[in-house]
Amino acid sequence: MDPSEVEFLAEKEVVKIIPNFSLDKIYLIGGDLGPFNPGLPVDVPVWLALNLKQRQKCRIVPPEWMDVEKLEEIRELERKEDTFTPVPSPYYMELTKLLLNHASDNIPKADEIRTLVKDIWDTRIAKLRLSADSFISQQEAHAKLDNLTLMEINTTRSFLLDTLNCMYKLRSNLQPGSKYISDVV
């Protein structure tokens, strides 16, 4: 899966917008949306919110967790804990990127939020690398992926799987001779 696909999935998340137009309910395969009343918040998927925003048809109300104080708390917790902590949204990274890129004027303290989310992301990715490292070095058979988001799993999946494959090959090639095993591991 490449990141754009994950982003595509993230666009199905629901976000609140305040439209500046009036429209009846619209009926879509994924469900009914609206009705849209000017000035009244309404829940729509992110893809529609961004589309409307680009056409200057709405203001986006940032999700509740997209708030400097809350993110700071999460960052602190993430730094303190050794394991992965629950994230505010399964698509926090994608949503932050999408909303901040397209609607930063509707989000108070957009820059700070960008930094905070990046910090959280970096901390988590560092943890992920660390655990992958210990996973390989200790020859574990399985690993728990609690509280990992799709995007995070995807950043490491291709590399990790290829590596494991490669190592497996190396090992199995060495197996018959069995002299060098200790050297490899």
Partner 1 sequence: MPCERKPMRYGHSEGHTDVCFDDTGKYIVTCGSDGDVRIWESLDDDDPKSINVGEKAYSLALKNGKLVTAASNNTVQIHTFPEGDPDGILTRFTTNATHITYNSSGSRVAAGSSDFMVKVVEMYDSSQQKTLRGHTAPILSVTFDPKDEFLASASCDGSVAVWKIEEQTQVTSWPLLQKSNDVINAKSLCRLAWQPKAAKLLAVPVETTVQLYQRDSWAQVGTLSDDLGTQAINVVAWSPCGKFLAAGSIGGLLTVWDVESKLCVERQTHEKGYTVCGLAWHPSGGQIAYTDTEGCLGVLDGLSSSSSSSSTTTSSTMTKAPASYDDLFDDDDDRPLDEGISEGARSPAKNPGDEDDDDDLIPATGRARNRSAFLDDENSLDTGSLKQGLDKFVDDVGSAIVLPAAVAAPLRPVYDGPMPTPPQKAFQPGSTPAHLMHRFMMWNSVGIVRGYNDDQDNAIDVEFHDTAVHHAMHLTNSLGHTVADLSQEAVLLACPGTDELASKLQCLHFSSWDTNKEWMVDLPKGEDVQALCLGQGWAAAATSALMLRLFSIGGMQRELFSLPGPVVCIAGHGEQLLVVYHRGTGFDGEQALGVQLLQFGQKRRQVIHGEPLPLSRKSHLSWLGFTAEGTPCFIDSEGVVRLLNRSLGNMWTPVCNTRDNCKGKSDHYWVVGVHENPQQLRCIPCKGSRYPPTLPRPAVAVLPFKLPLCQTTTEKGQMEEQYWRSVLLHNHYGFLSSSGYEIDEEGQSQAQKEQQELLMKMFALSCKLEREFRSVELAELMTQNVVTLAIRYASRSGRMALAQRLSDLALEKANQLQGEEPQEEEEEPLQYTRRNTGSGLGRSGSAGGQNRVTNVLDSMMSSSKKPTALLSSSGSTGKLNKTPFLKPLAPRPKTKVQHNSVYVRHKSGFQLWLEDNRRIILADNPDLEETDVIKEAIGRFRTLSADDRLVRHLIYTPSHSKSDEASLSHKKDPLFPCAKAEMPL
List contacts with partner 1 (CB under 8 A): 16, 18, 20-22, 37-41, 56-57, 59, 61, 108
Residue 32 β-bridge partners: 27
When the beta carbons of 40 and 125 are compared against partner 1, the nearer one is 40
- 157 φ, ψ (degrees, to nearest 5): -60, -55
| Shortest spacing between CB 41 and partner 1, in angstroms | 6
When the beta carbons of 110 and 116 are compared against partner 1, the nearer one is 110
Q: Contact, 161 vs 97, CB < 8 A?
A: no
| Shortest spacing between CB 16 and partner 1, in angstroms | 8
| Shortest spacing between CB 53 and partner 1, in angstroms | 13
Give which of 75, 67, 86, 63 is closest to 146, Cα–Cα: 86
Preceding amide of 35 cis, omega within 30? yes
When the beta carbons of 12 and 25 are compared against partner 1, the nearer one is 25
**How many angstroms separate the CA atoms of 53 and 45, rounded?**
12
Q: Contact, 45 vs 15, CB < 8 A?
A: yes
When the beta carbons of 20 and 175 are compared against partner 1, the nearer one is 20
When the beta carbons of 21 and 168 are compared against partner 1, the nearer one is 21
| Shortest spacing between CB 21 and partner 1, in angstroms | 6
When the beta carbons of 23 and 132 are compared against partner 1, the nearer one is 23
Element (H, E) at 171: helix 150-174
| Shortest spacing between CB 107 and partner 1, in angstroms | 10
Give which of 167, 93, 159, 79 is closest to 126, Cα–Cα: 79
Element (H, E) at 174: helix 150-174
| Shortest spacing between CB 49 and partner 1, in angstroms | 15
